[in-house]
């Protein structure tokens, strides 16, 4: 459905949604957003202790609270209405359009570059811990986002390309751990609202809305090397040699 609409349409919808979000924060003191944040924290606590009875109860109660709190946000309501309107418009266009089949004439086909679809190393997971396998695995650049859980990437079980490998993780709450072999050069760019960072013996015990940038001495001239780009709302990062 959405591929039938121009990017500008979605951009305007997002802009209006952001304006409504700012409006709610200024004039309603972000009441619903505070409920969303509090509920998400307790959902995470319940998920981490899900094997216990009180953890299950905490998780499901605050998950329901989280859903209703999100639906109370003015910007979210607008996005839902906008999606319904786009669906109706798309459905009406389909009814009016007629399908025409045109024959394919010799020489009319355009040669396209051969593309191979590859399986990513990680999928996007909102409420799960993720880690690389304990046995050898083929390397794929990592580009993921998530809400809750820990992300563990062990580079000692793979062969990095003789180029720049990339690890990009955007996360809401949880810990990120990256284990790097000694012969690999590293660049780390980490952003955090709340949390701690332990990077090759460099310790930051209290990060408050701060970005960190480190790289090893020979990163610009040696291979293999890995570029690590991470951002978390609340959580720790640990990068160490293995």
Of 63-77, 121-135, 173-187, 221-235, the least confident: 121-135
pLDDT in tens, 153-211: 899 888 888 889 999 999 888 889 999 999 999 999 999 888 889 999 889 888 888 89
Q: Is 39 a member of any domain?
A: yes
pLDDT in tens, 93-133: 666 655 544 555 555 555 567 777 777 777 767 666 778 87
Q: At 134, is the secondary structure helix, strand, or coil?
A: coil
Percentages (nearest 5) of helix, strand, coil residues in the chain: 35, 30, 35
Q: What is the pLDDT at residue 105?
A: 54
Q: Which of 49, 73, 95 is the last residue of a domain?
A: 95
For residue 63, what pLDDT band results from cuts at 50, 70 and 90? confident
Query: What's the domain range around 27?
Result: 2-95
How are beta strands 185-199 and 202-215 bridged, if at all?
antiparallel
Distance between CA 35 and CA 48 in Å, rounded? 20
213 and 153 in a common domain = yes
228 and 142 in a common domain = yes
49: which 2 tokens? 């202790």
Q: Are 140 and 168 in contact (CB under 8 A)?
A: no
Q: Which of 95, 115, 145 is the last residue of a domain?
A: 95
Above 90 in pLDDT, residue 226?
A: yes
How are beta strands 185-199 and 237-241 bridged, if at all?
parallel
Distance between CA 20 and CA 81 in Å, rounded? 13
Q: Are 219 and 188 in contact (CB under 8 A)?
A: no
For residue 7, what pLDDT band results from cuts at 50, 70 and 90? low
99: which 2 tokens? 């399908």
């Amino acid at each position: 459905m959405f591929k039938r609409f121009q990017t500008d349409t979605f951009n305007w919808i997002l802009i209006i949604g952001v304006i409504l979000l700012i409006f709610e924060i200024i004039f309603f003191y972000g009441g619903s957003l505070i409920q969303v944040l509090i509920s998400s924290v307790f959902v995470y606590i319940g998920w981490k202790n899900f094997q216990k009875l009180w953890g299950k109860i905490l998780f499901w109660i605050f998950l329901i609270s989280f859903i209703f709190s999100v639906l109370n946000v003015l910007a979210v309501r607008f996005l839902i209405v906008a999606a319904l309107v786009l669906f109706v418009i798309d459905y009406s266009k389909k009814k009016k359009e007629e399908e025409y089949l045109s024959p394919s004439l010799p020489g009319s086909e355009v040669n396209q570059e051969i593309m191979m679809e590859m399986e990513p190393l990680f999928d996007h997971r909102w409420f799960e811990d993720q880690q690389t396998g304990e046995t050898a695995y083929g390397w794929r650049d990592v580009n993921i986002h998530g809400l809750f859980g820990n992300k563990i990437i062990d580079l000692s079980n793979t062969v990095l390309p003789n180029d720049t490998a990339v690890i990009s993780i955007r996360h809401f709450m949880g810990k990120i751990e990256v284990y790097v072999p000694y012969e690999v050069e590293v660049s780390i760019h980490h952003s955090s609202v709340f949390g701690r960072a332990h990077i090759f013996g460099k310790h930051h015990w209290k990060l408050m809305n701060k970005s960190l940038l480190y790289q090893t001495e020979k990163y610009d001239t040696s291979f293999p090397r890995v570029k690590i780009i991470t951002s978390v709302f609340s959580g720790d990062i640990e990068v160490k040699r293995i």
